[in-house]
Structure 1
Amino acid sequence: MDLISVSALVSLLSKIFNGTTEKAGEQLWQSLASVVRRLFGRNATSVEAVKRLGERPGDPDAIRALAQALVDDTSRDPQAAAQLRHWVVAAEQTIAANGDVTNSVSGEVSGNVLQARDVHGDITF
């Protein structure tokens, strides 16, 4: 099984705390904290790192420390690594579904332009 990299976890955790995911970010953070406690009990480095990040939400050093602790702890436990990978996939899907959208129009445009994130149903101009 591929281990999750520190940089991938830093990126994901940063997205959770940077405010773009709003309520989804809070839910993801709570679910990660729960997963870490369940996987590692009370004595793992990851549990302490979750506590520190919870005290300093969004702090880049605390984010990096948690990412490193998760990589270290899961490298010794294949089952924990699989469960963390499952959480990462679900978190990435949640962020993609709740993330920002950037629309841009460039060049010469003649006619109607629609900028939207999700469109359900017909559009008529």
Structure 2
Amino acid sequence: MDDPILTAVAVALSTRAVEGLTDAAREALASVMRLVRRKAAEHRALRAALTAEPTSGGSDDRAVGLHRALVDAADRDPDFDQELRRRWETFHQTTVRADAVTNTVSGQVTGPVVQARDISGGVHVGLPAQQHPRQ
């Protein structure tokens, strides 16, 4: 089952992306991390996923492993699941503004990705058109 909240938590924790967050958002994410670390003390797979180093392919593999471990921990402990979701919602609320745009890319990406909010004009993704020599 693909749970978007646990997926978002896994991606946020595996990328450790805090750049650009407000102090409130940074503290809310730290609260999520503290909860997950406490759970990892008793959950071997979660502990292993948290300490895993990203491979050369990027953080996707780490996020997938962390997601699986979070799903397992949440399935085994409904109180942890509920508290994790509550803390994630607190984090999410500190990062959402009426004019905000959230761009997320997950999984293995093999082609171009464009993330944008407002675009004036066109967007071309791909190789430039071949120019034919004039005769």
Shift of 1:92: 1.9
Question: Structure 2 vs 1, CA of residues 61 and 12 (structure 1 numbering), >3 Å: closer, same or farther?
Answer: same
Aligned alpha-carbon RMSD (Å): 3.7
Of residues 1, 7, 15 in structure 2, which corresponds to 1:10? 7
Q: 2: distance between equivalents of 1:84 and 1:65?
A: 17
TM-score normalised by L of structure 2: 0.52
Paired-residue identity, %: 22
Shift of 1:73: 0.8
Q: Give the structure with the larger helix fraction.
A: 1
TM-score normalised by L of structure 1: 0.56
Shift of 1:51: 1.8
Mapping of 1:15-26 within 5 angstroms?
A: 17=15, 22-24=20-22
Mapping of 1:68-107 within 5 angstroms?
A: 68-97=68-97, 101=101, 102-103=117-118
Aligned length: 100
Unaligned runs of 5+ in 2: 102-116, 122-135
Check whether the contact 2:29–2:88 (CA below 8 A) recurs between aligned residues.
no
Unaligned runs of 5+ in 1: 107-125
2:47 matches 1:47: yes
Of 59-68 and 39-48, deviating more is: 39-48
Q: 1: distance between equivalents of 2:19 and 2:93?
A: 12
Shift of 1:18: 8.3
Check whether the contact 1:12–1:92 (CA below 8 A) recurs between aligned residues.
no
Partner of 1:34: 34
Check whether the contact 1:46–1:69 (CA below 8 A) recurs between aligned residues.
yes
